[in-house]
Amino acid sequence: MDIDPSKILVRYNVQKEKAQTPEEMAAEMYPSAEPARTIAVAIFEGEEDDVVEALEKALASGADPVKLIDDTLMPGMDIVTKLYDQGVIFLPNVMMSADAMLEGIDLCKEKAGTSAKAKGKIVCHVAEGDVHDIGKTIVAALLRAAGYDVVDLGRDVPVDEVIAAVKKENPMMLTGTALMTTTMYAFKEINDRLLESGIKIPFQCGGGAVNQDFVVTYELGVYGEEAADAAKMADAILSGKGLAQLKEHFHKH
Ligand code: B12
């Protein structure tokens, strides 16, 4: 009997599957517009100098530093996140990309500056035990760009340190970021400790692990989905909105 091998290969789906390298998979996701494309490639490759060079070029030709965060750095990191979630790339790659992304945010933050007189003070932090600080860094940069004085406590911040900072700085609002389901419970503890001390400031929480269902379980919590929601909420507080109105406005019903 004559056997056509190509039929067998098709049947077992061997012929059709062409293995792709991580670089090829990333290339399919790069944005087409410049400088977003060059920056996304540089973030994926963890080339900090190339990220900074492309950003400096864009800034020199008049690009807005805050828009550069949203339109170029975030899409770049999105690709890294997707490929990591799919198991295509691994932690060392992600660390190099994260560093390149943070270098870019630092530059944009520096260029955005702040207005002469701050609109109010905000304390930002990443939950105790959690080192994922890219989201928090974006939140802090956007708040500064919107004219707020930001006290950035950094990442893996012990609950005691958050409480001490709030007592010292007397901010209009506190933000928390958590990327891990194990670390986000620190937010409840912070909520309880603030209430025990009679402090009732809005506590906006976000980050990959956090969702609205979790945040509504503690009194001061307001969920923030996007980094840009932090400045929106601060503006809403300045316009006189109280905790209940903030939840009404920022939560999905
Ligand atoms: C980058 C990354 C890292 C980097 C972090 C570098 C850095 N400086 O941040 C490195 C390589 C160091 C790392 C380490 C680890 N990671 Co990691 N990491 C990631 C990854 C791929 C992307 C996260 C990220 O930066 N996203 C981009 C940013 C922009 O998103 P974001 O922080 O969520 O912020 C956005 C919004 O949420 C919002 N936002 C954030 N905060 C706030 C706050 C407010 C107020 C508002 C309004 C909005 C807001 O704004 C941002 C943009 O709009 C995720 C995968 C994923 N799907 O998320 C895993 C992930 C978070 N990591 C994970 C794990 C397990 C780890 C490690 C434990 C791995 C290990 N075995 O060592 C360690 C953690 C060590 C520790 N103690 O923290 C898990 C967590 C699982 C879980 N649910 O608990 C994830 C989900 C991967 C996975 N699928 O398993 N990681």
* pLDDT tens per residue across span 173-221: 999 999 999 999 999 999 999 999 999 999 999 999 999 999 999 999 9
- CA 172 vs. chain centroid, Å, equals 21
According to CATH, the topology of domain 21-112 is: 1.10.1240
Report the separation in Å between the CA atom of 81 and the middle of ligand 1, taken as the mean of its atom positions. 9
Ligand 1 centroid distance, CA of 253 (Å): 27
Distance from Cα 238 to the centre of ligand 1, integer Å: 30
Packing angle of the helix pair 74-85, 36-45 (nearest 10 deg): 40
Q: Please report, rounded to a whole number, the percentage of residues in the chain having pLDDT higher than 70.
A: 91
Range in 14-28, 113-127, 139-153, 233-247 with the lowest mean pLDDT:
14-28
What pLDDT score was predicted for residue 205? 98
Question: In the chain, what are the domain boundaries?
Answer: 21-112, 121-250
Give the number of the atom of ligand 1 that is nearest the alpha carbon of residue 204: 45
| Run of H or E including 151 | strand 149-152
Distance from residue 208's CA to the centre of ligand 1 (Å): 6
The β-bridge relationship of strands 173-177 and 121-126 is: parallel
Whole-structure pTM value: 0.84
Domain 121-250 matching CATH 3.40.50.280: the answer reads yes
> In this structure, what token pair is assigned to residue 129?
């035990």
Helix (H) or strand (E) holding 74: helix 74-85
Span from the CA of 79 to the centroid of ligand 1 (angstroms): 14
Provide residues with CB under 6 Å of ligand 1.
77, 81, 84-85, 91, 94-95, 98, 129-136, 138-139, 175, 177, 179-182, 204, 206-209, 224, 226-227, 229-230
